[in-house]
Structures are given as structure tokens and as C-alpha cells.
Structure 1
């Protein structure tokens, strides 16, 4: 049995580009920025506005965080001298730094270096970007240092994620005036919620032809496991996508819930048939609670191709129509597939 992991949704729901934790400082004695803080017309602003969802823990609101650790430095009336630094601090449980930070001004790359450090007391990571060239007033560079990455079950509930904030100061001084830079929380994120999640796995059968030299896999059993802690908001529903050159029909013939016979009430929602796709979509009666396991037996009718196939649709089983995806946990196994059929 080969159960490939195919992810349909990430817990960190990727949206547009927005601002992370940031501080801007300037280098060089004798510059116009020798004061403890940068001039008032040098400001940091978000780039984009669409946040990502972070699930902190059970019984709290899903949190909104920046998708990308990016910031624009606006300085309409002030030059940025070589040595200007942009420091972006972030929660390493949520973000991954780029191999090298990127700074752009208009359509060109700004010459810059970057260094990443981690504070042992706070566990926060900081990427400090240093411009190695001077920028004239109004160039307004954009700095990108990292992006959110999907955190898989069981580490996907990130307890106490650290809010974003910003401060402005001199290179040799402590940044001042720290303020929150968290993006606005969309109404679609909902209120207090209990996260839930499902894993899809199963058993495959192999159909062979051409004296066993050609074969195709199809699902013989589908298993849905609930990782909780909440109950799935909708009855378990899924699709089965197969190649119509090899498979002519699919039926659900048995169901067991937690190893006991169960009337799953499996109902066929729709059938799609084209020259390259045979897809059936199913729903059941089961709203799976934490720890529940639903096993479904399939009866699949196959065809015997006359020889080689010009192409093949690899088999896929995937969750569908499962309701509140904002609070759905990232199990990394919301679908399964096989890519090792031999058809030519």
C-alpha cells in the first residue's frame, strides 16, 4: 500500500503580502539621522492587506497574522544613507526566512546584505537587512525576508503566537516607539472556535492487463480519521477521481464506525464522466468526533484496455464540502493518491 500525502489546505491560509514585526534603524555618524530616532517622514507601512489564519489553541478565536514578512520604507523627504537597516522579527514557529532577504526599489534590486539571529530569552528570530547603497528620497524600498509556512498536525496549534510590532531608531541605539502591526482580523475568521481535522488514508487494489505488464491502482477502502479536538462541522464527504479508460463504476458497499457496523447513509452526490476523468462525489451521515474512525468499503468495476494508454488519470480520494475551513487543522492528509501505475 502506498499512501501519498496530498495537502489540500494549509492551516496558515495564504493571502496577500502584509507586514511582519519590523524596526528600521540607520547607520553612520555625521548623517542626517544621528538622532536617537529616525525622522518623522521615514515610516514603515504594510505591503498588501490579506492575513493568514493561525489556530492558537482550543476555545479561542483564530488569529490573523501576516502572510509574508515584508515592509516598505517610505521616506518622501529624506535620503536613506548606505547602512540603513530594516530589522524584521518573527515567530519562527510560523515563518521561514528566505535564503537571502530581498530589497527592491521600483523595478530594480537594491544592494543589501542580511543576517538572521534568534533571541534565546524570547525565542524570536530577527532578520536584519542592511542597505549597502544610498537611496534618494522617495525611492521607498520594499524589503521581504520570509514567508509563512504550513505547520502540520500535531504541531499545527501554535500556542501564544507573538504579535507583530514595529519600532524606529538609530543603528547604535535601542529602537523606540514600538507599536503593534498586526493586520486587521477579517470577519470571516469567525469567533471562538474549536479546531478540528481529518486524515484520509486507505487500501489500494491493482488492476493489471497486457499480461501483467500494465497496471492501475484504485481504492478498495477509504478510511477517515478525526484528530479533533472538535467535531467535524459537516458530515464526512469526499470525491473519488479515477481514469475512465480503466474504471467504469464505483459503489460504496460497507461502512464501519470505530470498528462497528455503521449505516453511513452513503449518498452519491454527483458523477462526472469525460474522456479523461471519471469522478464520483459522496457524502455520509457521519459527523466525526475526535478519535472517530470511519472505514468505507468500495466495489470498483474495471475495464481491460486493449493495450497501452495515451495518458492516465492517477487515482485520487479527497475531502470535499467540509464546512468551516478556517478552523480546519492542517493534517497534511486530506487526500490520497497513487502515481505508480504503468500504462505505457
Structure 2
């Protein structure tokens, strides 16, 4: 899956969403999708807030997918009888179902049952939610069955993602009249694009005090690796956040591009020092191509604390200002940290 020449695969850029298991709040209802022929007087309204972007190949426009697998069931003219079924079909590579689907009216959870089946021919999953109580006319429930999840590299290249759809049926009838839940594509998703990604890794050293009973880790090398398939759209830049009680100063001594000494044009963008944070922000002139690796060696001057510290700022290294995040692959490694210090 690392082949930078693969052009028929899709890149997902999925924001994380957490749905609580108590009350579920859903916003962003769009225009009605349709009045289903098998459930007269019922119309389904998809949830279209904050769609996630899917890039269906190299050199094409990112498409929009629902962030939440959710739909509102409107039935103004009559009660929604017990036994009504709402079925949402989705691509399991893009979505994660809730342990149990939920339906809410005005913040109240309705009594429901749900089941998930998979079509062996298409590999699509369908969650069917059965409402176990009568819902009064005008009380339009929102059915939520899952949410998009960040698909991490190298599995973030997905062939042919399928649209999410929904259908409704009354009194245990078979849901039919299926329609798409795809939201409108935001203009902010931009035009044609090529996916790109970066991984951050490095090497750590340790400052020890109190006769070896206390210690703190700090980075001595930062590595940025481009995973492609496209080049990184901006010059490599990153930040270092350290504890000023332990770290006095940081400088970058050498740079290597693809294991060869390189004039990376490293410079300090800014420096912040408070009682609890020492942060430096760095830029380079290097625009990494597919497969490129940039190693930056750090010289870190440390202090020797006299004893226990009241608090600690765990060290972290992270990318900054790296351009178009809609087409950035989700490597899951855009930062690194250590939390295993002993300071008290």
C-alpha cells in the first residue's frame, strides 16, 4: 500500500467524532431527502453537518461524505407506529457503528432495537433500527447508527467508497425506496488534488537527577518522512514543546536529506518561555517528495533540578503549517511525545 504510483485508490480525511451513549445531539439537517413510497407521510432528512472529505483518486476533486450515520424521520401527518424500521446502509471501511443504535426525540431516548447485517456480494453493512414505541405526529425522531472514523495509513487508501443510504418502512415492512445520504460538497474542499502524508518520529535522550531516581526525556533527533503519493505542499515545519524546569535551550546542529548532509535552511520561527512551557517553532526550506526522509539533529542543554518538581510538561514534537489538510493522509503520526518521566 506504499506504492506512490497507485492512482485508483481513495484517500480519506476523516475528522474524529464521539457520540455519547446518553443523549445524542445532532445538528445540520439538510433539505428532505424523499417521501418513501413504502411509508406514506414519512420523509427522511439526512444529517449534513460538517461532512468529511474523501479523495476518490489522484488528480480529482475531494468528495463529501456524511460525518454521522444519522437521519431524521419526519411524520407530521400521523403517529409513527411501533415497529417502524429505519435502515441505514454504509461502507464499513469508512464508518464505525455504535454498540447499539439510538433514536432520540427532544433529547429523550426512544425504546429501540437494532441489528447489523453485511451483504456478502457488496460487503456493505446495513444497520436496521426498529422503533419499539409509538411516536406522536410532529415528534420527529433522529436515528443515529454510527460515525465516520479516521482510517489510518496505510489503510487510508480505500478503493471505491460507497455512498451511505437510508430507507424506512412501517410496521415491520421491508425498508425500500433507498436514497443517498450524501451531503453537498463544500467549496472549501477545493479542486483537483493529490494526496500526501507525513510521519514524525525521532530519537530521545534522558536527563537524570536525584541520584537517578528522577528523569525527563527530550528529543535529540526529529525525523520527517513523506509517504506520498504526492509531494508535501509546504516546506517542512514543526514545533518542540518542553519543560523549562529541565530544558534550558535547544538548537538544531545538522540536517540530512535521504541520509545525506543537506542545507535545509532551518530557522527559528518563534520562541515562547513561561514558568511551565518552553516552546520553539521551526521551519525549513525542504519540500519533501514521496519517500523523502529529513533527519534533524538537536543539541539540547538541560538543567539539573534540585529535587522533586511540582508539575511536568511532557515533551512533544508536532507538525505545524503544513498546508492543505483536506488532502493530507491520516498517518496517525503527525506528532510524538513521551509521558514516562518521573519527576516527584
How high is the TM-score relative to the length of structure 1?
Answer: 0.89
1:58, CA displacement in angstroms? 1.9
After TM superposition, give the deviation of residue 162 of structure 1 in Å.
0.8
Residues of 1 paired with 2:259 and 2:105: CA distance?
Answer: 61
Q: What count of residue pairs does the alignment treat as equivalent? A: 322
Tell me what 1:31 maps to.
none
Between stretches 285-294 and 100-109, larger displacement belongs to 100-109
Q: Distance in 2 between matches of 1:94 and 1:19?
A: 21
Equivalent residue for 2:86?
86
- Contact 2:66-2:181 within 8 A present in 1 as well: no
Shift of 1:167: 3.8
Q: CA deviation at 1:49?
A: 2.4
Residues 255-274 of structure 1: pairs in structure 2 closer than 5 A: 255-274=255-274
Inter-partner Cα distance in structure 1 for 2:156 and 2:234: 21
Provide the residue aligned with 2:6 in structure 1. none
What is the distance in 1 between the residues matched to 2:339 and 2:219?
Answer: 13
Q: Higher mean Cα deviation, 57-66 or 161-170?
A: 161-170
Q: Which runs of 5+ in 1 are unaligned?
A: 1-9, 26-35
Aligned 8 A contact 2:196 2:226 in 1: yes
1:208-250 per-position Cα deviation (integer Å, ceiling 9, x unaligned): 1111111111000011000000100000000000000000100
Q: In the alignment, what sits opposite 2:234? A: 234
Deviations 1:312-332 (A, max 9, x none): 000000000001111000001
The residue number in structure 1 matching 2:13 is 11
Task: Please tell me whether the aligned partners of residues 19 and 69 of structure 1 are also in contact (alpha carbons under 8 angstroms).
Answer: no
Alpha-carbon RMSD across the aligned residues, in angstroms, is 2.0
Residues 258 and 17 of structure 1: CA distance in aligned 2, closer, same or farther (over 3 Å):
farther
Give the drift of 1:163.
1.6
Distance 1:18 1:161 in 2: 23
**CA–CA separation in structure 2 for the residues paired with 1:298 and 1:279:** 14
Relative to structure 1, is the Cα distance of residues 24 and 302 closer, same or farther in structure 2, using a 3 angstrom cutoff? farther
**Within the alignment, does 1:191 sit opposite 2:191 as a pair?**
yes
1:76 aligns with 2:76: yes
* 1:49-198 map, 5 Å: 49-169=49-169, 171-173=172-174, 175-176=176-177, 178-198=178-198
Deviations 1:262-299, CA, capped at 9 Å, x for gaps: 00100100000000000000000110000000000000
Partner residue, 2:45? 45
1:340 equivalent to 2:325? Answer no
Gaps of 5+ in 2: 1-11, 18-25
Answer yes or no: is the 8 Å Cα contact 2:48–2:67 preserved in 1. no
Q: CA deviation at 1:138?
A: 0.8
SS at match of 1:326: coil
For residues 75-101 of structure 1, the C-alpha deviation after alignment (integer angstroms, 9 at most, x for no partner) is 111111110001011100000110001
Taking a change above 3 Å as real, the CA distance of residues 326 and 268 of structure 1, as seen in their structure-2 partners, is same
Q: Aligned partners of 1:166 and 1:244: how far apart in 2?
A: 54
1:326 is aligned to 2:321: no
Partner of 2:7: none
Structure 1 residues 63 and 196, CA gap change in structure 2 (3 angstroms): same
